[in-house]
Amino acid sequence: MNNIAKFKLDRQNYGLALVEEFMSTEIYDIIKNDREELAKWLPWAKDMHSIDDEAKFIRYAKEHNIFVLAILNGAKPVGMIDLHNVDEVNHTAEIGYWLSSEYQGKGIMYNSVQSLVSYAFNFFDMEKLIIKAEIENEPSRHVAERAGFTFQKTEEPFAIYAKQKNG
Protein backbone atom coordinates (compact mmCIF):
# COMPACT_ATOMS: atom_id res chain seq x y z
CA MET A 1 0.00 0.00 0.00
CA ASN A 2 1.28 3.47 -0.88
CA ASN A 3 0.91 5.33 2.41
CA ILE A 4 0.97 9.12 2.18
CA ALA A 5 0.34 10.01 5.83
CA LYS A 6 -0.31 8.44 9.22
CA PHE A 7 -1.91 9.86 12.35
CA LYS A 8 -3.22 8.52 15.64
CA LEU A 9 -6.50 9.45 17.35
CA ASP A 10 -7.79 7.82 20.54
CA ARG A 11 -5.17 5.08 20.26
CA GLN A 12 -6.37 4.20 16.75
CA ASN A 13 -4.02 4.30 13.77
CA TYR A 14 -5.34 6.19 10.75
CA GLY A 15 -3.73 7.13 7.49
CA LEU A 16 -4.01 8.08 3.87
CA ALA A 17 -2.97 5.78 1.05
CA LEU A 18 -3.40 5.82 -2.69
CA VAL A 19 -6.71 4.15 -3.40
CA GLU A 20 -6.35 0.73 -4.99
CA GLU A 21 -8.81 -1.48 -6.82
CA PHE A 22 -8.69 -4.15 -4.12
CA MET A 23 -10.37 -1.59 -1.81
CA SER A 24 -13.49 -1.43 -4.04
CA THR A 25 -15.60 -3.82 -1.97
CA GLU A 26 -15.08 -2.07 1.36
CA ILE A 27 -15.49 1.39 -0.16
CA TYR A 28 -18.65 0.36 -1.98
CA ASP A 29 -20.09 -1.14 1.23
CA ILE A 30 -19.68 2.24 2.96
CA ILE A 31 -21.34 4.05 0.06
CA LYS A 32 -24.21 1.55 0.05
CA ASN A 33 -24.73 1.92 3.81
CA ASP A 34 -24.45 5.72 3.78
CA ARG A 35 -25.95 6.37 0.33
CA GLU A 36 -28.86 8.50 1.54
CA GLU A 37 -26.64 10.85 3.57
CA LEU A 38 -23.82 10.96 1.00
CA ALA A 39 -26.26 11.68 -1.84
CA LYS A 40 -27.42 14.86 -0.10
CA TRP A 41 -24.03 16.40 -0.85
CA LEU A 42 -22.38 14.17 -3.45
CA PRO A 43 -24.48 13.45 -6.56
CA TRP A 44 -22.26 10.54 -7.64
CA ALA A 45 -23.42 8.50 -4.62
CA LYS A 46 -26.78 7.86 -6.33
CA ASP A 47 -25.00 6.38 -9.35
CA MET A 48 -22.65 4.04 -7.53
CA HIS A 49 -24.60 0.76 -7.70
CA SER A 50 -21.99 -1.97 -7.49
CA ILE A 51 -18.49 -2.94 -6.48
CA ASP A 52 -17.66 -2.85 -10.18
CA ASP A 53 -18.81 0.80 -10.38
CA GLU A 54 -16.36 1.66 -7.60
CA ALA A 55 -13.58 -0.32 -9.27
CA LYS A 56 -14.27 1.55 -12.55
CA PHE A 57 -14.03 4.88 -10.73
CA ILE A 58 -10.69 3.89 -9.19
CA ARG A 59 -9.35 2.84 -12.61
CA TYR A 60 -10.65 6.08 -14.15
CA ALA A 61 -8.97 8.16 -11.44
CA LYS A 62 -5.65 6.39 -11.99
CA GLU A 63 -5.87 6.71 -15.80
CA HIS A 64 -6.66 10.43 -15.53
CA ASN A 65 -4.09 11.23 -12.82
CA ILE A 66 -6.70 12.19 -10.25
CA PHE A 67 -5.02 12.02 -6.85
CA VAL A 68 -7.49 9.93 -4.84
CA LEU A 69 -6.62 8.62 -1.40
CA ALA A 70 -8.36 6.17 0.86
CA ILE A 71 -8.74 7.25 4.46
CA LEU A 72 -7.75 4.20 6.47
CA ASN A 73 -8.45 2.94 9.97
CA GLY A 74 -5.54 0.54 10.20
CA ALA A 75 -5.77 -1.09 6.77
CA LYS A 76 -9.56 -0.66 6.43
CA PRO A 77 -10.91 2.10 4.14
CA VAL A 78 -13.35 4.39 5.96
CA GLY A 79 -13.60 7.25 3.45
CA MET A 80 -11.85 9.06 0.64
CA ILE A 81 -10.14 12.38 0.02
CA ASP A 82 -8.79 13.75 -3.24
CA LEU A 83 -7.24 16.56 -5.21
CA HIS A 84 -9.17 17.44 -8.36
CA ASN A 85 -9.48 20.32 -10.82
CA VAL A 86 -5.71 20.64 -10.61
CA ASP A 87 -4.39 23.72 -12.42
CA GLU A 88 -0.69 23.15 -12.98
CA VAL A 89 -0.19 26.65 -14.44
CA ASN A 90 -1.64 28.53 -11.45
CA HIS A 91 -0.68 25.82 -8.93
CA THR A 92 -4.20 25.41 -7.56
CA ALA A 93 -6.41 22.42 -6.83
CA GLU A 94 -9.66 21.55 -5.11
CA ILE A 95 -10.01 19.10 -2.25
CA GLY A 96 -12.99 16.77 -2.01
CA TYR A 97 -13.76 14.35 0.80
CA TRP A 98 -16.27 12.02 2.41
CA LEU A 99 -16.21 9.75 5.43
CA SER A 100 -18.25 6.81 6.68
CA SER A 101 -20.94 7.97 9.11
CA GLU A 102 -19.49 5.51 11.63
CA TYR A 103 -16.25 7.53 11.78
CA GLN A 104 -17.55 11.10 11.65
CA GLY A 105 -17.08 13.55 14.50
CA LYS A 106 -13.76 12.09 15.66
CA GLY A 107 -11.30 14.48 13.99
CA ILE A 108 -10.41 11.99 11.26
CA MET A 109 -11.40 14.25 8.38
CA TYR A 110 -9.67 17.27 9.91
CA ASN A 111 -6.43 15.26 10.19
CA SER A 112 -6.90 13.87 6.68
CA VAL A 113 -7.36 17.36 5.22
CA GLN A 114 -4.33 18.66 7.13
CA SER A 115 -2.24 15.76 5.82
CA LEU A 116 -3.37 16.27 2.22
CA VAL A 117 -2.80 20.03 2.43
CA SER A 118 0.77 19.46 3.60
CA TYR A 119 1.35 16.92 0.84
CA ALA A 120 -0.15 19.17 -1.86
CA PHE A 121 1.91 22.21 -0.82
CA ASN A 122 5.17 20.34 -0.30
CA PHE A 123 5.16 17.64 -2.97
CA PHE A 124 2.87 18.99 -5.70
CA ASP A 125 4.02 22.60 -5.27
CA MET A 126 0.45 23.87 -5.04
CA GLU A 127 0.10 27.52 -4.02
CA LYS A 128 -3.63 27.56 -3.29
CA LEU A 129 -6.13 24.88 -2.31
CA ILE A 130 -9.89 25.23 -2.46
CA ILE A 131 -12.73 23.44 -0.72
CA LYS A 132 -16.26 23.80 -2.07
CA ALA A 133 -18.74 22.74 0.58
CA GLU A 134 -22.48 22.91 0.12
CA ILE A 135 -23.81 25.81 2.16
CA GLU A 136 -26.12 23.50 4.13
CA ASN A 137 -23.38 20.96 4.83
CA GLU A 138 -22.29 22.30 8.20
CA PRO A 139 -19.94 19.40 9.08
CA SER A 140 -18.00 19.84 5.83
CA ARG A 141 -17.80 23.60 6.29
CA HIS A 142 -16.59 23.06 9.85
CA VAL A 143 -13.79 20.79 8.61
CA ALA A 144 -12.67 23.46 6.12
CA GLU A 145 -12.70 26.21 8.75
CA ARG A 146 -10.99 24.09 11.40
CA ALA A 147 -8.28 23.15 8.86
CA GLY A 148 -7.46 26.83 8.37
CA PHE A 149 -9.31 27.46 5.14
CA THR A 150 -10.79 30.95 4.83
CA PHE A 151 -14.30 31.58 3.55
CA GLN A 152 -14.02 33.39 0.20
CA LYS A 153 -17.51 33.63 -1.28
CA THR A 154 -20.77 31.88 -1.98
CA GLU A 155 -21.49 30.33 -5.38
CA GLU A 156 -24.88 28.66 -4.95
CA PRO A 157 -25.10 26.02 -3.65
CA PHE A 158 -21.49 26.18 -2.43
CA ALA A 159 -19.49 28.04 0.17
CA ILE A 160 -15.98 28.45 -1.24
CA TYR A 161 -12.99 28.21 1.10
CA ALA A 162 -9.33 28.69 0.23
CA LYS A 163 -5.94 28.21 1.84
CA GLN A 164 -2.73 29.76 0.52
CA LYS A 165 0.61 28.00 0.80
CA ASN A 166 2.23 30.87 2.64
CA GLY A 167 -0.92 32.40 4.03
The CA-to-CA distance between both ends of the chain, in Å, stands at 33
- 61-84 pLDDT per residue, tens: 989 888 999 999 999 999 999 999
106: Cβ–Cβ under 8 A, 6 or more apart, which residues? 9, 10
The helix/strand/coil state of 148 is coil
Model pTM greater than 0.85? yes
Q: What is the pLDDT of residues 24-55, one digit of tens each?
A: 999 999 999 999 999 999 999 999 999 999 99
Is the model's pLDDT at 123 over the cut of 80? yes
* Length in residues, the chain: 167
Q: What integer is the mean pLDDT of 3-8?
A: 79
CA dihedral sign of residues 37, 43, 44, 46 = positive
- Residue 10 has a pLDDT of 77
Band of pLDDT at residue 167, cut at 50, 70 and 90: low
121's torsion region: left (phi>0), alpha (psi -120 to 50) or beta?
Answer: alpha
Neighbours of 25 (CB within 10 A): 12
pLDDT, residue 140, reads 96
Residue 13 or residue 129, greater confidence: 129
Q: How would you label 48-83 residue by residue, b for 16+ Cβ within 10 Å and e otherwise?
A: beebeebbebbeebeeeebbbbbbbbeeebbbbbbb
State residue 1's pLDDT score.
60
* DSSP code at position 10: T
Task: Please say whether the dihedral angle defined by the alpha carbons of residues 98, 48, 14 and 21, taken in this order, is positive or negative.
Answer: negative
User: What pLDDT shows up at residue 162?
Assistant: 98
Q: Which residue has the higher pLDDT, 99 or 7?
A: 99
3-state secondary structure (DSSP) of residue 122: helix
Residue 3, pLDDT score: 81
pLDDT of 58 above 70: yes
Report how far Cα 148 is from the mean position of its chain's Cα atoms. Answer: 16
